[in-house]
Each structure stands twice: as structure tokens, then as C-alpha cells.
Amino acid sequence: MSPEMLMRTGARQVVATVICAENGRNRASPLDNPTFSLKDTGRPRVVFDISPVMENLKKIFLEFQPEECLPNEPLERMSHALLRHRRSQLAEPDLKVIGSLSFVQAMTFWETQIYAIGEWLMHCQEFAQLPLEEKMKLFKASWVIWQRFERITMSIELFGWRAVNEKLLAVSFESAIILDAVTFDMTSLTDYDPSYVKRLFEPFTGRLNEEVTKTCLEVNITPMEIVYILCKRVSPETLAVAESYRDCISDDLHNYYTITLKTPNYAGRLIRIMSIVHCIENIHYERSKVMELARIFDVFKVEVSEKGMFDC
């Protein structure tokens, strides 16, 4: 097999998640009138009702139409969609660094991202043609990882090495936090000592910073490679649909390396990029197992109305 074919084969290990979105839809959801609500059911746990959010997401999947002037090449198309997603992101001098974060604030940030990621997904023609049920399955399996990695790479663009050294993270288009300094108000989530809950999940925050953020900075990750990683994860239900899309994405990446970057021997770099993917997936998996144990032992007194949306 020729070196070029080896490169193409390596690139085709990428599985297209194809999740993308334009920011801005319901971005200014006011904290005093959120789309979601907490409902006391009389049981030990309180139901966190996000059914209005899910209805809005379904509406996006049924009605959203991307611009017609976007490139046909999948990787280029999703790269343009990512730029569109980030167009309302404030520059570093304008960001507000917040010292505390409430549950309602966090959910407002997530609500914005849920709509935005839904719109980004709709830029993929293969995804847009799926039945609504399949779209929802893929979204639930993908959005948390997508959101975390997108925010990490956005923070790198905004803060450079300060994202690692000072642990700065842009949690929304307007706000950032210092991971070691921010306090989370957990009173509505748990009756356990907040420091205990923080210790449960703190190792994963540290690993994301050390294994993902730092590696992205070391390799000087490019916007096209960011899109490549964002398109990596796919749920089993959509593997057949993703097959041809995966090949197209891989060919686009090959052309990006060989034509745009003029780097015909990119195997070493691709290995580094794939190591980032594996780190993200491993951290996500291990965190989900801790979350599962936390639910079994009733660490959290809130359960989400839509199963599978916040599994980690």
C-alpha cells in the first residue's frame, strides 16, 4: 500500500459525529425566567424538567435550514459552521470572569449550547435526513463531549497557555471561570458536603486540562483539526449513515494536510490528534461511571426529566 493510501486509511479511522450549531438561539435566556424548572414530586428526588428545552431542540431538528452558500466538502462545511457557531463569542478583554456559578446559571449556559449544537448538527446533510428519533439519539450521545471540547479549544484561542497555567475556561460566549477558584452552589443538587462532591469530579477536570488542553497547545492544533475531532464521535444507531460521510471527512482531512499544509507525511501528527480523541473519550467514560455510582448512592437529589441528556 502506498504512503498516500496509508494516510487516507489512517484518516478514515475518524467517525463523523457531525455536530454543529450557530450560536445565538435563545442565548440570552434570562436567569429569572428559564425554560427549564425544578418540580417537587414528593419523592426523595426533585425532577429537573427540561421538556420545554427538548421541544425547542426537536423544532430545530425539524425546521432549521443552513445557509445555501456553504461549501459542499463536509469538513469545510462543518468548519464554516463552527465559525458561525462562535461568531457571538466575546473577545478575551470583554469576557466576565465569574467567581461563583449557580445551578441555574450553569443550566442556562447548557441550554444555549444545546440549541447551538443542534443547529450545528443540521449543517450535516446526512444528519438532517435522519428521522427525528435518530437525531435525538445521536444528540444525546454526543453533545456533552462536543460542548466540552469546543469550550476547551475556544479557551485556547482566547487565553493561549493561560488556559493551562491559570486554568481559565470560557464557559459561555460572555463568561469565563478559573477552574481552581470558582465555587459552585450545589444546594439545589445535593445534601452532601459540596467539597465531597467536588472531590468526586475534580480529577476529571485536571485530566482534561493536562491531557487535552495542554496537548492541543503543544501541537498547535488548527481549526480544521478541531472540526475533525468534533466530528469523531458517532452513536451505533447511525453507523451505516456515517460510513460514506466518514470517508468524505477523511479525504478532506488528507487534502487539508497534503494540499493546504503541504505535509504529505502527516502520520505522526495524526497520531497526536487521535491521542486527543482517545483522551477525551476515556475521560468521558470514566466520569460517566462515577456519575452512575453517584446516582446509585443518591449523591444528587435531582433527576433530569429527559433520560440520557446528562449522564456525565
Task: Specify the number of domains making up the chain.
Answer: 1
Q: How far apart are CA 283 and CA 294, in angstroms?
A: 16
pLDDT at 16: 29
Cell 426523595 -> residue: 44
Is 90 exceeded by the pLDDT of residue 286? yes
pLDDT tens digits, residue range 88-146?
Answer: 999 999 999 999 998 888 889 999 999 999 999 999 888 898 899 999 998 998 899 99
C-alpha pair distances (Å), 298 with each of 84, 122, 293: 40, 37, 8
pLDDT at 25: 35
Task: Report residue 41's pLDDT band, with 50, 70 and 90 as the boundaries.
Answer: very low
Q: How far apart are CA 43 and CA 24, in angstroms?
A: 37
Whether residue 310 lies inside any domain: the answer is no
Task: Tell which residue, 177, 56, 49, 42, has the closest CA to residue 114.
Answer: 56
CB neighbour list of residue 268: distance below 8 Å, 6 or more residues apart: none
Higher-confidence position of 149 and 234:
149
pLDDT at 247: 84
Q: How far apart are CA 161 and CA 34, in angstroms?
A: 35
Whether residue 81 lies inside any domain: the answer is yes
Whether residue 309 lies inside any domain: the answer is no
117: helix, coil or strand? Answer: helix
pLDDT at 174: 96
Structural domain boundaries enclosing 107: 3-304
Is 80 exceeded by the pLDDT of residue 75? yes
Query: Region 35-64: what's the mean pLDDT?
Result: 79
For 32-161, where are the alpha helices, taking DSSP H only? 51-63, 74-85, 103-121, 125-128, 132-159
pLDDT tens digits, residue range 200-240?
Answer: 899 999 999 999 999 999 999 999 999 999 987 654 455 66
Indicate which CATH number applies to the domain containing 164.
1.10.565.10
Whether residue 129 lies inside any domain: the answer is yes
Whether residue 70 lies inside any domain: the answer is yes
**Strands across the sheet containing 175-178:** 96-97, 175-178, 168-170
Higher-confidence position of 233 and 182:
182
**Strands across the sheet containing 302-304:** 37-40, 46-49, 302-304
